[in-house]
Amino acid sequence: MKKPLNELTDNELVELSKENPDVFEELVLRYQNRLFYYIKRISYFGDEDIEDIIQEIFIKVYRNLNSFDGDLTFSTWVYQISRNATIDAIRKKQVRPQSVRLKEEDMIKIFKSNIDIKNEFETKEHLEEIKEIMANLPYKYKEVMILKFLEEKTYEEIMDIVQKSKGTVASLIARGRKMIIKEAEQKDLLIN
């Protein structure tokens, strides 16, 4: 008895997609929303631009299915392609990603996963302080923290996506964490 497509692994779908292009739609359905929010988190693009980028990503993925060898997980491979496509799109616009737009709950999730805080954010003042801390964090730290704490990628996956060594990834996360802690201490948001 054949398994339904939605029960197959990514790698099984890749192999089937090589023979039957209609199967590729299952991979698209599986990843389009995740990639949409990933790109939204690491760039400043609006929804329509992101949809265009995602379309380009899936065209590139489909064209390169035969070169996918399974050394990386499909998820890591598609995130790597997505990151590169986003960087290319930023370069085409000739604008550097100075400001990454994170939703309030995403900012709080990254913030909370890095420090112990005094209390929940009951006041607008606390939320504004967190927004300021996260807005001031340089892009290279935000990018790896988004992958680690929001996309829930392992260090190995992050290394493959951003194409940096494990030591560099760990260092970026550690430095980003130190910056967050330093700012939180200055704003008296930490537990003593």
Cβ atoms of 189 and 117 within 8 Å: the answer is: yes
Question: Which among 20, 23, 19 has a CA at the least distance from the CA of 10?
Answer: 23
In a domain? residue 99: no
Q: What is the pLDDT of residues 16-75, one digit of tens each?
A: 999 998 999 999 999 999 999 999 988 888 899 999 999 999 999 999 999 988 788 999
Chain-centroid distance of CA 162 in Å reads 10
For residue 119, what are its two tokens? 């209390």
Domain's final residue, options 93, 121, 149? 93
CATH code, domain carrying 73: 1.10.1740.10
Q: Which whole number is the average pLDDT over 112-139?
A: 67
Average pLDDT over residues 66-92: 90
**End of a domain among 70, 93, 116?**
93
pLDDT at 24: 94
Could you say which of 71, 93, 115 is where a domain stops?
Answer: 93
Q: Is residue 192 part of a domain?
A: no
* Residue 116: predicted pLDDT: 57
Domain of 77 in residue numbering reads as 5-93
Residue 98's Cβ-side half-sphere holds a number of Cα atoms within 13 Å equal to: 3
**Distance in angstroms (rounded) separating the CA atoms of residues 51 and 45:** 10
Q: Do residues 41 and 78 share a domain?
A: yes
Angle between helix axes 74-93 and 24-42 (nearest 10 degrees) is 50
| Confidence at residue 125, expressed as pLDDT on a 0 to 100 scale | 64
Do 178 and 143 share a structural domain? yes
User: What is the pLDDT averaged over residues 129-141?
Assistant: 81
Please check whether residue 153 is in contact with residue 147, taking contact to mean a CB–CB distance below 8 angstroms.
Answer: yes
DSSP-assigned states of every residue in 138-153: -HHHHHHHIIIIIS--
Specify the number of domains making up the chain. Answer: 2
Question: Using the 8-state DSSP alphabet, how is residue 118 labeled?
Answer: S
Residue 155 has pLDDT above 80, yes or no: yes
Question: pTM here?
Answer: 0.70
* The two three-digit tokens of residue 116, written as one number: 């112990």
**Same domain for 115 and 181?**
yes
- Quick one: 79 and 109 in the same domain? no
Phi, psi of 168 (to 5 degrees): -65, -45
Dihedral (CA of 25, 27, 30, 36) sign? negative
Q: Do 58 and 79 reside in the same domain of the chain?
A: yes
H or E element that contains 33:
helix 24-42
Residue 191 lies in a domain: no
